[in-house]
Structure 1
Amino acid sequence: NFRAMTGRHDLLDAYPKFDAYEQIASQHPALSRVWGEMTDGLKIFLSELEMGAA
């Protein structure tokens, strides 16, 4: 979940349909793969962002 990963639980409050989309995407084989790749990319981006800020 993006909120937990970023540590910002209000990150997507402006987008109430995001949670429903995440559930639908995770149940569909192709969309689940894309969703996982986006999550992996976000993890890498956030870690590099942290390193750049340090």
Structure 2
Amino acid sequence: MFERITRLGLLAAYQSTLALGIVLMPLAMLVRRAGVTLPVGRLVERAEHAYESAN
């Protein structure tokens, strides 16, 4: 039961980070022109890894 709740929570976190990445894409492109990168990609990768390792 606890594993199922954990997996659902990780899935929600992963999906939320994907949505955040999509929403922040235009801002990330503008900021990148100024020489600054947003760590959204690393955040999505870490959430994906956490979700996949829970399965």
Query: When you count helix as a share of all residues, which structure comes out higher?
Result: 2
Which has the greater radius of gyration? 2
Which structure has more RCO (C-alpha within 8 Å, separation ≥ 6)?
2
TM-score when scaled to structure 2?
A: 0.43
TM-score when scaled to structure 1?
A: 0.44
